[in-house]
Amino acid sequence: MTFAQRLAKAVSQHGPLCVGIDPHPGLLDAWGLPRDVSGLERFALTCVEAFGGHVALVKPQAAFFESHGSKGVAVLERVLADLRDAGTPVLVDAKRGDIGSTMAAYAQAYLSDGSPLAGDAVTLSPYLGFGSLEPALEAARASGRGVFVLARTSNPEGASVQCAEVPSGGSVAQSVVDEAARRNAGADPLGDVGLVVGATLDRLDIDLSDLHGYVLAPGFGAQGATVADLRRLFGDELRGVLPTSSRDVLKHGPDSASLRSAARRVGDSLEM
């Protein structure tokens, strides 16, 4: 099965919610955990216990693990392995982007069989040119994995780059959408090249009608986006949209049952 096919199956079972694992220092404090690797591990593995087998997609934020050095990366590797054992698709939120052999090395790390850092998909940044991502796209195709490419993010600084006009006309963000759509054409049910589009945008200034792929929509919940915002931006049907919630769910820790119940409540709020 392709990544998109596995994800479609998970969404049909659990709904479209993607839950983040963000071991932010403030959340470690709120859970009564130390700001060290032991606290990181307890936080992350509690999330695995809560969400594994219960949500469609889990998104660990790699930076919070990397900030603890090699021992933190080892915790991330265990998270990926444990979620794999639970049968839950995992999106590694690493936002990698580079050129040539360096991009190929990132692809080997996050998208190749046998790598302890490989989940089911990884986030990528296309702002060295979409073509620079080709090693990652090839690795994803070869291993049956997926990618989510930053297209139109909701941070204020993003617009200066993403809304700039390309020489052929249209915005940089739209060119990213169009490149992803070209690679997804003909896939069933959807393609493996997804996009990241912020759920807190004032308006959707890109055309996603030909994407034929998944859209990760961060910002749902604590960052302010509501179901009404999702429908305003993406349409009433919300097909292929994966709203992402982290803090709105994670604030209910450290009890794993409470975390699972919170994820269920947030997921239920997305039902049509």
3-state SS class at 75: helix
Distance between CA 29 and CA 262 in Å, rounded? 19
The predicted pLDDT at position 271 comes to 78
Edge-to-edge strand ranges of the sheet holding 91-96:
57-60, 18-21, 241-245, 213-218, 191-197, 146-152, 121-124, 91-96
What residues act catalytically?
95
To 5 degrees, how large is the angle CA 138–CA 144–CA 150? 60
Rounded distance, CA 213 to CA 272, Å?
Answer: 20
54 vs 21, 28, 228, 263, 271, CA distance in Å? Answer: 14, 23, 25, 9, 16
Residues 239-260: tens digit of each pLDDT: 899 999 999 999 999 999 999 9
pLDDT of residue 39: 98
What pLDDT sits at residue 222?
Answer: 72
pLDDT in tens, 44-54: 999 999 999 99
- Alpha carbon distance 120, 190 (integer Å): 15
DSSP helix/strand/coil, 136: helix
pLDDT of res. 114: 96
Using pLDDT thresholds of 50, 70 and 90, give the confidence band for residue 236. Answer: confident
Domain boundaries, the chain: 3-268
CA–CA dist 101, 89 (Å, integer): 27
Per-residue pLDDT at 272 exceeds 80? no
Nearest-angstrom CA–CA distance, 4 and 192: 5
Band (187; pLDDT cuts 50, 70, 90): very high
Sign of torsion over alpha carbons 114, 182, 195, 89: negative
- How confident is residue 221, by pLDDT bands cut at 50, 70 and 90? confident
In DSSP terms, which residues pair with 61 in a beta bridge?
93
Token pair belonging to 36: 């060290």
Taking the mean position of all CA atoms in its chain, how far away is CA 71? 23
Burial 15-43 (b: 16+ CB within 10 A, else e): bbbbbbbbbbeebbeebebeeebebbbbb
Q: Does domain 3-268 have CATH number 3.20.20.70?
A: yes
- Which has the closest alpha carbon to 100: 52, 55, 47, 136? 136
Tens of pLDDT, residues 70-126? 999 999 999 999 999 999 999 999 999 999 999 999 999 999 999 999 999 999 999
Query: At residue 149, what are phi and psi to the nearest 5 degrees?
Result: -100, 130
Write the pLDDT tens digit of every residue in 57-80.
Answer: 999 999 999 999 999 999 999 999
Q: What gap in Å lies between CA 125 and CA 112, rounded to an integer? A: 18
Instruction: Say which residues have a Cβ less than 8 Å from residue 228's Cβ, sequence separation at least 6.
Output: none
